[in-house]
Structure 1
Amino acid sequence: MPTRRERTLRVIKGAKAGVPGRPVRRRIVSRPAPTAGGGIEEVLERLDREPVEDPLEAGDLTVVGDPAEVEDTPDPDEDASPSDDRDATVTVAPPAGDRASGPGRRRALIVALVLLLAAALAGAGVYGHRWYVARATEQARQDALAAARQASVNFVSVSAASVDRDLQRITAGATGEFRDEFTRGQAQVRTAVVENKVDSEGTVLRAGLVSGDRRRAVALVAVDATVKNVKAPQGRPSHYRIQLDLVRDDDSGDWLVAKLQFVG
């Protein structure tokens, strides 16, 4: 009795030349052996009528017929993995230590940047405040010195023709102790200026601050004046050195004379 291998006809169809670097694949088709009623010509004719697939286009090995009756012949050059014919994608995983410390490093970097930014802003704020205080103090000192120069000129520049306006100007620039004293003696001063026909005009020679900040200042002013009166109608020169204590008014911001005295 013929065996299963003897009852199976194995036909290997030819294939096109393989692609370089890729093994040639074969197509195995199994057909039952011809019966006694037919001949080899009938089998060949039937095979010629069947379409032939290109192994390179069909992909992997194609088996036609009963899989149980086909003897599989593995290709020794062919690897067991079906993905060898496709491009390989290699993924390199970072070391376990790097994966564990990645988020931690980013958080540490962010914290460091925040701290540096905060320190920079704090430093800028301190520097800006100091710069503002220094600038404001210097401006206040200059304003105080200018007020001292003007107050000294006003005090020695009085004329019988404009006595009321001159005395009012002195009062407007005074405050505290000096304002109180001058207001109490203003009537006597006016009488003396008018009776003696006084005409005095002064100019500042030198002026400087002894001390000063944004609220208080002490200034020394050297003033020359030409004084005319009934005894000296042609005028005579006078030299004064005046010390003025000034304070800054909170409402108007003006520097006012709180104390005035001759120092030589």
Structure 2
Amino acid sequence: MTGEPEEVAVPSRRNTTLKVIKGAKAGGPTPPRRRLVNRAVPDPAEPIERVLERLDQEPVEDPIEGGDLTVVGDPAEVEDLPDPDPDPEPAEPDATAEPDDTAPPRRARALIALLVVLLAAALAGAGVQGHRWYVDRATDQARREAVAAARQAAVNFVSVSAASVDRDLSRITAGATGDFKDEFTRGQAQVRAAVVENKVQSQGTVLRAGLVSGDRRHAVVLVAVDATVRNVKAPDGRPSHYRIQLDLVRDRDSGDWLVTKLQFVG
């Protein structure tokens, strides 16, 4: 060794980068060092004398100009930090964790939603069909009742007797409404007088009745009636045939079918 300041490089246990100490002389005092970690220094893997002999034989880089360089801490005393893992392995799933069964899978939810839509559509269709069935049934029932009322009204109109004239005329008035009732009431006195004076006795029988048109509130019915009429001119009676058209309306309060118009046709 010479009198020149000697450059000494000390390898660390894991990091092989050499740190250069400038201004340190062989055998001279050791420059002050700052300890970063207070821990025991592990034994080197190789005797320090052999490391120094090998380093003396290797070329040394030029010292950095401009100022003295000192080693910050002893490389052997610096905490040996683990290298970051460049490719961390994914965490293994926890086999003990219980699966979340609180929410159904997406496909199950979609199936449930589809079933709900189909059920709602079916219920709506059933409701529409049920309402239509109810309306059709109610309309058919109303038409049958209208035809029955027209048959009875036609028989009442042609069945009059001098012996029961007041009761017969009252029955006709009870089954009438609107214009027909007003007209018949105005001429009721003349009809009564004619029946009594001619000793009329008439009894009718319905042959056929048919619905021309009708719904749950209005109806038009044709009725064919045969009657046997007796009076002072025909004490043995004579047959008569009538075709009567009756317009009827259903009373909102009682629900009965009442005659609003009566006329002989054909």
TM-score normalised by the shorter chain: which range applies?
0.5 to 0.7
> Does 1:236 find its partner at 2:238?
yes
> Does 1:140 find its partner at 2:130?
no
Q: How far off its partner does 1:102 sit?
A: 5.7
Which of the numbers 105, 108, 131 marks the counterpart of 2:107? 105
Give the corresponding residue for 1:130: 132
Q: In the aligned structure 1, how far is the partner of 2:108 from the partner of 2:209?
A: 63
Give the corresponding residue for 1:150: 152
Give the corresponding residue for 2:215: 213
Q: Which segments of 5 or more consecutive residues in structure 1 lack a partner in the other structure?
A: 1-89
Give the corresponding residue for 1:44: none
Which of the numbers 116, 119, 126 marks the counterpart of 2:118? 116
Cα RMSD for the two superposed structures: 2.0
Give the corresponding residue for 1:177: 179
Give the corresponding residue for 1:188: 190
Letter in 2 for 1:256: L
Give the corresponding residue for 1:253: 255
How many residues were matched structurally?
170
Q: In the aligned structure 1, how far is the partner of 2:231 from the partner of 2:111?
A: 84
| SS at 1:233 equivalent | coil
Q: For 1:30-57, what per-residue CA distance to the aligned partner results, in whole angstroms no more than 9, with x for missing partners?
A: xxxxxxxxxxxxxxxxxxxxxxxxxxxx
| Higher percent of residues as helix | 1
Q: How far off its partner does 1:108 sit?
A: 1.1
If the length of structure 2 is used for normalisation, what is the TM-score?
Answer: 0.61
Q: How far off its partner does 1:106 sit?
A: 2.1
1:18-29 matches, cutoff 5 A: none
Deviation >3 Å, runs of 4+: none
Q: How far off its partner does 1:103 sit?
A: 2.5
